[in-house]
Structure 1
Amino acid sequence: MEKNQYLDMFIEESKEHLQSMNDHLLKLENNPKDSLLISEIFRSAHTLKGMAATMGYEDLASLTHQMENVLDSIRNGTVTVSSQMMDVVFESVDHLEAMVTDIENSGDGKRNVISTVQKLEKIEQGTFINEVAATVEVMKEEESDHTYNNQLPPFDDFELTVLSQSREQGFQAYYINVCLREDCILKAARVYMVFEVVEKIGEVIKSQPTVEQLEEENFELEFSITLLTKDSANEVEAKILKVSEIDSVNIITIDVDQLSNHDKNETAKDNISEVDSLENNITSDLNPVEPTSEKNNKVQQGGSLNKTIRVNIERLDSLMNLFEEIVIDRGRLEKISQDLKNNDLTETVEHMTRISGDLQNIILNMRMVPVEQVFNRFPRMVRGLAKELNKKINLEIIGADTELDRTVIDEIGDPLVHLLRNSIDHGIEKPDVRKRNNKNEEGKVTLKAYHSGNHVFIEVSDDGAGIYREKVLQKAIKNGVISKEQSDSLTDKQVYELLFSSGLSTADKISDISGRGVGLDVVKNKIESLGGSVTVDSERNKGTIFSIQLPLTLSIISVMLVELQDEIYAIPLSSIIETAIIKESEIMAAHNQRVIDFRGSVVPIIDLSTLFKVPKVREADEYHSIVIVRKGDQIAALVVDSFIGQQEIVLKALGNYLSSVFAISGATILGNGQVALIVDCNSLFK
């Protein structure tokens, strides 16, 4: 069989089944006696196993088969669902996802899962809990003997064989821990230089983190490598320290014999962190499952009557590009029709406009996908973070069926991950702290999406401690974001917005979860690059809410065409409140800024002709045409020469050479063939 013919279908369907397994496993942990949930998980695992075996991915099929056995034991009442058992099952799903990702990246889908398979076998046999409990005392007694090995990473069978054979050939194995200086700017470059040094004197067989993570700077200041060389430890250390911006180098000589003995007990050691909680659950975890109640039977079953077909996103992109050309030509035909004033031509153009409008809605709807595709991966992530931080978190997802353009969906995932991790790490307090503050020990994080006009709003909120105003101000002043004098006049809302400043993080301690000093500026930049905006509001001891506003689509937008001297500009309707005409006498001055009184509010005036340095061909008269625009709570009045009218236009990028043009987000081609620049109203607000 030609695998390439079915590979894309296999990858897509595998991802769907893995996501389904993740979703149902999370529900099963909360409803361990629900047989319908177990059946759903079993069905996904069975299908995935069959597909993997058919495609020849034996490791994937073998691990899935072992998961099936565990699920079958649960279904038959041999084993009860427990948190510790679910950790192993989730670990298995992580391996399966990694295998599918490897296959997607042209790999062979192979992965060392021996330890996980052994755990699954023990769960199936009912010995997993007993074995862990039985090793508790042994592990505690031998704790001092493992000081040496605890400093070393785990080695698989292949790596142990390499270590053993290299010793026979006269090589020495070293475990090297390298710590970079805190002021190191290009961490990945320093790592590369260290690898370049050690690879000249030996062979690196392992690194922690992985090489890919090191290249992406996905680590703090420390990393470690396992090196085979004939040089002495002192010689190795001296050569590494020649690389600049290195704080320290710690080298441990690896005793292969002691390491081999240690690894025999690795499986039991993997579970030692769970021992204290397991001791209280040994008896209950070995009891058979009770009959399923009617209440737990109410699970929405799969199966839809809708007929669907899979279409490659590249085909939809091509279709969209062709339709954009039709929109441009439609605009030109409308202009020609207006000039010629021919009834037959006018009727034909009007009919074409209606038909193309319907076609536009169909094409845009084809590209719209529910945010559920992004939201689905977060419950599993939140579960892991909660356990890691020893917190109790309840994630509530609202509006997962809200639809967004596929282009936006692909880009929104990382910002949401950052905001959720921020809420869980910084926002939600520890259970004992919440209890002292008369709160529920379980913190609540809400992820909500909804439509409003031509925008989609996504909110990430929590009922945690809120934002400390003084802490943010102190960090902002220290980092030079604002001055001490400016801080006194800022409102709470303005203080919270400072969190989006570059490099501003209020974390007291750097961790893997958040607080790396990156701050929320990365989130803001990504959202604004999508034509959206992000705001934050908070109340002490009540919680924090981040609100993201996104356009429904990025390609075709409605604008107001305006004239500046002899040039035409487009202002997105999504930013416009209203238009007006004012007299010169109505313009006032405040703090060296021209302003007007707009419905009781003082609004600054921005002359677009001056801002964009448009060549002056005629003098301004007594009256001014203005466009009132908004960004969040801020309002400004843009002065233009005249209004042309509303129109749907195709947003075209300016290209790499013009990517940094101030306050211009792109361009479009008008009906007469003229190019109009599109104003980025968000950039006009400081």
Structure 2
Amino acid sequence: MKEKEDEYKQLFMGEGLEQHEALNNLLTELEKNPEEGSIVDEIFRITHTLKGNASGMGFSDIASLAHTLEDLFGAIKHGEFKLNNKIFEAVFKALDVMGNQLSSLKDNKKVSFRGIKTKIDVLIRESKNNCESKEESKRKDNSSKQPAEENQAVINDPSTDLDDAQSFLDQDEFIITDKSLPEEKEVEVRKIDPEINKVTFSDLVQVPVGKLDNLLNLVGELIIERDRITTSLVGTEGANNNEFSRLKRISSDLQYSVMNVRLVQVGFLFNKFKRVVRDASISENKNVDLQIEGESTEIDRNILQIISDSLIHLIRNSISHGIEQPEERQAAGKSQRGIINLRSYNDNDGVIIEIEDDGKGIDIEKVKLKALSKGLVTKEMLSLMNDNEVVMLIFEPGFSTSDNVSSLSGRGVGMDVVKKATDSIGGQINIDTTKGKGTLITLKLPSSMAVKGTLLFQLGDQEYAIPLSYTEAVVSYSKSDLYKISNGIVASHLGKTISVVFLKDLFETGGTLRQRIFNSYSELQKDDKIDIIIVTYNGRTIGMVVDKLLQQKEIIEKPLSKPLDNVDFISGVTILGNGNVCPVLNISTITNSIFNMSLSNQ
């Protein structure tokens, strides 16, 4: 019984959050077009439905607040009073409280709502009284101008509910004889079509996300076990390759079918940002419009959830740092209203999300000065960095170019959190900016977290995996192609000088990384050939020397359990077909370690 109650609760929350998002979007549109009656009608309908659902579930606080909003928009719908800024601000506040109420259902926390409910009730009464006073004055004026006999005719005209009843009956499909009426009036209408009373079912079934996650984990275990059995039986007597192929096909189809069920359209998240832009614009006293493209692009729900806070921060950052004040834009020959474009589209096996503003762009020189003052780089390093590498410094912890603290920015935190969230799902982030023109932020994300494309390689007898999302190329060099400098080893790749690290030295224990960095290089002979995997992360490209390249393979990565969850350079593990545990490299920590080592030895 408890499980059923929890399931109904989750279903209510899912529908309630969708209704809450719709109300936010509708109210944002209504604020721009306050005379649009269809929007008022839709808000009234949604609040009425939400109130009923909450009452049915026993969530009286949510039902009470929804009832107040229903009363408000019912009165507006019937023309009892007009919308104004005070009402809009109160309703937006009420929606924020309602959002907290819905979220609090997870942990049964109490959310205070009486204050905003009372405020809206007072606004309703005040607005009604004002309107009634105006109508009364208007009626008195009209009454004094009408002839006496005309007024008498109006007074003596009897009103009955008969005409209203007739109108109601005409809309329904049944026959009724009202014997209680003086003239025994019979009203005939069409008979009910039996087909109308048929019960219909929706083709959609709502399933809690937790069930999908559990199902995907089980499918992952099935795939690992399939690979293990297949590998162990290949070549043995009685083994049938056709049966293996069929098993692989069926299990793979099952895996991708479950993954597809977890996909959601990015519009599910993007449409929430209309309210975010509205609030941020008001906070910064700027005029900003949000334009959305590619709402139908599909991505794993868990990825969208992890990246949602980062997207909110990036959009707010674009408004705070990027979009200029209206008078500045006008002086620069721009429209007073700034524009933020939020786009998404598929790219190979991933999803691209772009946030572009037409603001003032990022001041590269200001970034350099701030990075130097924070000790993030040295002058020598800056001289070797291109503009793109400099701009990526804004993602370093504690970096901020804001001169003033506001509610949106200037607190010295934020952009590094965006990078960490992107790293955690195997994504990448890049920035293109032009001073005076605007900034484009591009996030390249995997479409699913369940399966990860990797390149397998060996160090000694141990197999490792590196995500393909970071891999640019695989090259073969000799020792003569490498150059030893004071801070490490470098090589030339596509006309660019890159750092090179022997992973064997990186994973050794004892001494500092700086002390170990030349061990394997010193053991090489002049003509020895080495395999190098070129990877790029956060605008930084490095070459990683491995003992042996194996193959590309899709894997199911499992996170490390405590106390190994904080191991440097490893993000997780997978199980290969031979039963071996295969660590997955954490490219972000490796590249950052190489970069920081270079910085500390300048």
- TM superposition score category, shorter chain reference: 0.7 to 0.9
Could you tell me whether the CA contact under 8 Å between 1:534 and 1:549 is conserved in 2? yes
Whether 1:46 aligns to 2:54 is no
Write the letter of the residue equivalent to 1:667: V
**Alpha carbons of 1:385 and 1:305: their partners in 2 closer, same or farther (altered >3 Å)?**
farther
The aligned counterpart of 2:205 is: 309
Note the C-alpha offset of 1:97: 2.4
The aligned counterpart of 1:122 is: 126
The aligned counterpart of 2:454 is: 559
Write the letter of the residue equivalent to 1:88: A
The aligned counterpart of 2:39 is: 37
Note the C-alpha offset of 1:393: 0.9
The aligned counterpart of 2:195 is: none
The aligned counterpart of 2:65 is: 63
The aligned counterpart of 1:376 is: 271
Question: 2:321 aligned to 419, 426, 445, which one?
Answer: 426
Which blocks of at least 5 consecutive residues in structure 2 are unaligned?
135-199, 510-518, 596-602
The aligned counterpart of 1:472 is: 367
Structure 2 counterpart SS, 1:673: coil
Query: C-alpha distance in 2, partners of 1:600/1:484?
Result: 23
Question: 1:648 aligned to 516, 530, 554, which one?
Answer: 554
Note the C-alpha offset of 1:593: 4.8
Structure 1 counterpart SS, 2:324: coil
Note the C-alpha offset of 1:353: 0.9
The aligned counterpart of 2:419 is: 524
Whether 1:508 aligns to 2:403 is yes
The aligned counterpart of 2:18 is: 16
Could you tell me whether the CA contact under 8 Å between 2:233 and 2:239 is conserved in 1? no
Query: C-alpha distance in 2, partners of 1:598/1:492?
Result: 19
Q: More displaced, 607-616 or 504-513? A: 607-616
Query: C-alpha distance in 1, partners of 2:245/2:101?
Result: 54
Whether 1:445 aligns to 2:449 is no
**Alpha carbons of 1:109 and 1:663: their partners in 2 closer, same or farther (altered >3 Å)?**
closer
Deviations along 1:351-407, one digit per CA (max 9) or x if unpaired, are 111111111110111122223333232211221221222111111222233222222
Write the letter of the residue equivalent to 2:260: N
Note the C-alpha offset of 1:54: 3.0
**Equivalent residues in 2 for 1:244-283, closer than 5 Å:** none
Query: C-alpha distance in 2, partners of 1:420/1:92?
Result: 23
The aligned counterpart of 2:432 is: 537
**Equivalent residues in 2 for 1:27-426, closer than 5 Å:** 27-107=29-109, 111-112=113-114, 113-127=117-131, 307-340=203-236, 344-426=239-321
Deviations along 1:407-443, one digit per CA (max 9) or x if unpaired, are 2222212212221221111221111121111111111
Could you tell me whether the CA contact under 8 Å between 1:46 and 1:68 is conserved in 2? yes
Which has the larger Rg? 2
Deviations along 1:300-335, one digit per CA (max 9) or x if unpaired, are xxxx99721111222112111111111111221332
The aligned counterpart of 1:498 is: 393
Query: C-alpha distance in 1, partners of 2:58/2:306?
Result: 33
Write the letter of the residue equivalent to 2:126: K
The aligned counterpart of 1:279 is: none
Note the C-alpha offset of 1:578: 3.2
Could you tell me whether the CA contact under 8 Å between 1:607 and 1:640 is conserved in 2? yes
Query: C-alpha distance in 2, partners of 1:22/1:519?
Result: 25
Write the letter of the residue equivalent to 1:676: C
Whether 1:630 aligns to 2:526 is no
Query: C-alpha distance in 2, partners of 1:129/1:556?
Result: 67
Query: C-alpha distance in 1, partners of 2:133/2:342?
Result: 36
**Alpha carbons of 1:52 and 1:125: their partners in 2 closer, same or farther (altered >3 Å)?**
farther
Could you tell me whether the CA contact under 8 Å between 1:70 and 1:124 is conserved in 2? no
Note the C-alpha offset of 1:503: 1.1
Q: More displaced, 321-330 or 524-533? A: 524-533
Whether 1:665 aligns to 2:571 is yes
Query: C-alpha distance in 1, partners of 2:53/2:557?
Result: 42
Question: How high is the TM-score relative to the length of structure 1?
Answer: 0.68
Could you tell me whether the CA contact under 8 Å between 2:400 and 2:410 is conserved in 1? yes
**Alpha carbons of 1:602 and 1:305: their partners in 2 closer, same or farther (altered >3 Å)?**
farther
Which blocks of at least 5 consecutive residues in structure 1 are unaligned?
131-303
Note the C-alpha offset of 1:90: 1.9
The aligned counterpart of 2:545 is: 639
Query: C-alpha distance in 2, partners of 1:630/1:430?
Result: 37
The aligned counterpart of 1:269 is: none
Write the letter of the residue equivalent to 1:639: V
**Alpha carbons of 1:65 and 1:626: their partners in 2 closer, same or farther (altered >3 Å)?**
same
Q: More displaced, 588-597 or 668-677? A: 588-597
**Alpha carbons of 1:129 and 1:15: their partners in 2 closer, same or farther (altered >3 Å)?**
farther
**Alpha carbons of 1:129 and 1:10: their partners in 2 closer, same or farther (altered >3 Å)?**
farther
Query: C-alpha distance in 2, partners of 1:683/1:463?
Result: 33
Could you tell me whether the CA contact under 8 Å between 1:337 and 1:345 is conserved in 2? no
**Alpha carbons of 1:35 and 1:374: their partners in 2 closer, same or farther (altered >3 Å)?**
same
Query: C-alpha distance in 2, partners of 1:526/1:501?
Result: 13
**Equivalent residues in 2 for 1:549-588, closer than 5 Å:** 549-588=444-483
Note the C-alpha offset of 1:600: 4.0
Could you tell me whether the CA contact under 8 Å between 2:430 and 2:539 is conserved in 1? no
**Alpha carbons of 1:626 and 1:129: their partners in 2 closer, same or farther (altered >3 Å)?**
farther
The aligned counterpart of 1:181 is: none
The count of corresponding residues between Structure 1 and Structure 2 is: 511
Query: C-alpha distance in 1, partners of 2:422/2:132?
Result: 46
Write the letter of the residue equivalent to 2:118: I
Could you tell me whether the CA contact under 8 Å between 1:122 and 1:128 is conserved in 2? no
Query: C-alpha distance in 2, partners of 1:418/1:101?
Result: 20
Note the C-alpha offset of 1:122: 3.0
Identity of aligned residues (%): 34
Write the letter of the residue equivalent to 2:223: V
**Alpha carbons of 1:591 and 1:454: their partners in 2 closer, same or farther (altered >3 Å)?**
farther
Write the letter of the residue equivalent to 2:550: I
Query: C-alpha distance in 2, partners of 1:96/1:581?
Result: 60
Q: More displaced, 632-641 or 40-49? A: 632-641
Note the C-alpha offset of 1:545: 2.3
Structure 1 counterpart SS, 2:403: coil
Query: C-alpha distance in 1, partners of 2:111/2:568?
Result: 47
Could you tell me whether the CA contact under 8 Å between 1:100 and 1:109 is conserved in 2? no
Write the letter of the residue equivalent to 1:638: M
Note the C-alpha offset of 1:559: 1.7
Could you tell me whether the CA contact under 8 Å between 2:392 and 2:538 is conserved in 1? no
Query: C-alpha distance in 2, partners of 1:596/1:319?
Result: 46
Note the C-alpha offset of 1:101: 3.3
Write the letter of the residue equivalent to 2:578: N
Structure 2 counterpart SS, 1:657: coil
Query: C-alpha distance in 2, partners of 1:11/1:129?
Result: 42
Query: C-alpha distance in 2, partners of 1:596/1:488?
Result: 19
Write the letter of the residue equivalent to 2:121: V
Write the letter of the residue equivalent to 2:103: T
**Alpha carbons of 1:619 and 1:531: their partners in 2 closer, same or farther (altered >3 Å)?**
same
**Alpha carbons of 1:106 and 1:32: their partners in 2 closer, same or farther (altered >3 Å)?**
same
Query: C-alpha distance in 2, partners of 1:662/1:472?
Result: 29
The aligned counterpart of 1:275 is: none
Deviations along 1:29-64, one digit per CA (max 9) or x if unpaired, are 333343332322221111012223334444433433
Query: C-alpha distance in 2, partners of 1:124/1:540?
Result: 52
Structure 1 counterpart SS, 2:558: coil
